[in-house]
Structure 1
Amino acid sequence: FKAGSKVLDVGTGGGFPGIPLAILFPDTQFHLVDSIGKKIKVVTEVAAALGLKNVKASHLRAEQVNDKFDFVVSRAVTRLIDFYPWIKGKFNKDSKNAIANGILYLKGGDLAEEIAESRLKAELYPLSAYFSEEFFDTKYVVYIPQ
């Protein structure tokens, strides 16, 4: 992410993937949201303990967020057909990064049916190309440009 980018992490849980990304990209603003207050409390404490000034954590559902972002990230919160309506319309119109603004969704399994069902134009990036452990054989980053 280029400096000044804004990223929404939907269903962050314990802060993944938002917290590691915030560490890697200190000049990018991350808004981590989850509908479970206890999880957001932990995320807030972790971000403070790590001194992450680029993290905002909110006890909200994605649909309640009233802001625009360059990217929305998430880790297998739900099927894409259900996820997309939550975040549709939350993207900045102008792209400043090497790829167009969009969704970066961590997901596993056979995704052909799910992607077809969603009718979204998706690109799959297998994590097995970067990690040799068997666990990653069926894991992907699903990129959906906006």
Structure 2
Amino acid sequence: MDTILKYFPDLSPTQIEQLSQLGDLYTDWNSKINVISRKDIENIYPHHVLHSMGLAKVFQFKDGSKVMDLGTGGGFPGIPLAILFPKVDFLLVDSIGKKVRVTQEVADAIGLENVRTQQARAEELKEKFDFVVTRAVAVLPKLVAWTRRIISDKHQHGVPNGIWALKGIDRATEEAKALGKGAYTEIYPMSDFFDEEFFGTKCVIYTQK
């Protein structure tokens, strides 16, 4: 938690309490259902929680907006983002039922009232969202194809609705090119915000619908 507070010093007492519970909750759940690499569970705060929160360094969701975390796995980046943005509606989606179960149990345990979960694939969803967030799910061209119809045409932020993805910088650059010349993307290196070596190769990439 010290690393989290280093970069997010203005968290409320509720947010600090919710974030502080994640370590023990995921350690316990991971011993039953492997949602995080067992070799990496000890790095849950820098490699998973803070990594997820990195999106908030480049973009702020408005209260009342709707965000889908596609391929949430055990709840990343959705759960840390839902803690940061308590007045934003998050739907955390994964095709694997046991991962959805862990995500819902963790959300319930820390009292997250702005999180829903669903076992589904993107093409099965009928809701509309302002933004889709993802972490290590699929290449950008696939993400765009999967989510185009479920991203709302009603824009309420300073940038058009679209996708925010957490990726490696090299991969993100290649995938942005693969979208074609007509696509608009922005890449934000995480090393601009975080000092840890882990973030030297990480970025947030945005692409419009």
TM-score by length of 2: 0.67
* Cα displacement (A) at 1:118: 2.1
On the 8 A contact 2:186/2:206 being kept in 1, the answer is yes
- Whether 1:112 aligns to 2:173 is yes
Question: Matches of 1:67 and 1:143 in 2, distance apart?
Answer: 21
Partner deviation per Cα, 1:15-40 (whole Å, 9 max, x = no partner): 00000111111110000000000000
* Cα displacement (A) at 1:43: 0.5
Question: Matched residue of 2:117: which SS?
Answer: strand
**Structure number having the greater helix percentage:** 2
Question: Matches of 2:95 and 2:188 in 1, distance apart?
Answer: 28
Matches within 5 A, 1:66-85: 66-85=126-145
76-85 vs 54-63, greater mean Cα deviation: 76-85
RMSD: 1.1
**Structure number having the greater strand percentage:** 1
Amino acid of the structure 2 residue aligned with 1:87:
T
Question: Matches of 1:123 and 1:101 in 2, distance apart?
Answer: 13
Matches within 5 A, 1:19-58: 19-58=79-118
* 1:121 alignment counterpart: 184
Which of the numbers 126, 139, 143 marks the counterpart of 2:202? 139
* Higher RCO (Cα < 8 Å, 6 or more apart): 1
Identity across the alignment (%) = 53
- Aligned pairs, how many? 146
TM-score by length of 1: 0.95
22-31 vs 117-126, greater mean Cα deviation: 117-126
* 2:23 alignment counterpart: none
* Cα displacement (A) at 1:112: 2.5
Unpaired segments ≥5 residues, structure 1: none
